[in-house]
A and B are shown apart, each in its own frame.
Chain A
């Protein structure tokens, strides 16, 4: 079946603008994770969802970052008032259930803040 998809694949924005990144997990996967891949920080965890709830938001770098998931499927990561340090590849992963299953990663959204 189809894998995890993310859109847009690339996003260029100006500092101070808001951006929305979308993730479509594998159908039937209840767990969804967001990670960020940047040159200086490597791969870092941002937030995860179990169904529509987000029990752990500890990885979000600031209150400019938020995420939601609706219908137990699509998730949106929103970055408000973007800063240059937000430039990175944002990865989404899903798994059948939390904790015990392999996470399947999407292709990522490459965000560049000018």
Chain B
């Protein structure tokens, strides 16, 4: 079955602390994974995707096929990182539709 799991609904950290948003997936094919972010009153937007292996706004995510995980990390959280984060799995043989996790709300306190 195709599934994305984000175990934490809410993650609260203090400014400057490290943050890790967990994402686990279940997929029989070769996974293509994404992190999307939705800031307050803004539309959902791509944060990063694993194939590009880039760092955006200080966030990185590494695909671990052994653990079927794609956790999002940032060493020093900023208040402006407060948002809703969704991990997404692209289903290649179904038109590239995205299967999303339930989302994790990140709250960075001053």
Contact = CB atoms under 8 A, between A and B. Distances in A.
Contact of B49 (A50, A99, A102): A102
Given A42-B102, A42-B103, A43-B86, A33 B97 contact: yes
A33 B98 contact: yes
Contacts of B28: none
Interface stretch (B14-22, B40-48, B60-68, B75-83): B40-48
Nearest to B52: A102
A42 B101 contact: yes
Given A91-B44, A102-B49, A108-B43, A43 B103 contact: yes
Contacts of B102: 42
Interface in A51-71: 55-56, 58-59
A95 B102 CA distance: 23
A32 to B, nearest CB: 10
B30 interface: no
Contacts of A44: 100
Contact of B95 (A35, A42, A56): A56
Contacts of B45: 104-105
Interface in A72-114: 91, 93, 95, 98-108
A31 interface: yes
Nearest to B96: A99
Contact of B94 (A43, A56, A102, A104): A56
A99 B92 contact: yes
A103 B98 contact: yes
A104 B46 CA distance: 8
Given A3-B43, A42-B103, A106-B43, 17 more contacts: A31-B95, A42-B102, A43-B86, A43-B100, A43-B103, A56-B94, A56-B95, A56-B97, A58-B94, A99-B90, A99-B92, A100-B96, A103-B46, A103-B98, A104-B45, A105-B36, A108-B43
13 contacts: A3-B43, A31-B95, A33-B95, A33-B97, A42-B100, A56-B94, A93-B44, A98-B95, A99-B95, A102-B46, A103-B96, A104-B46, A105-B44
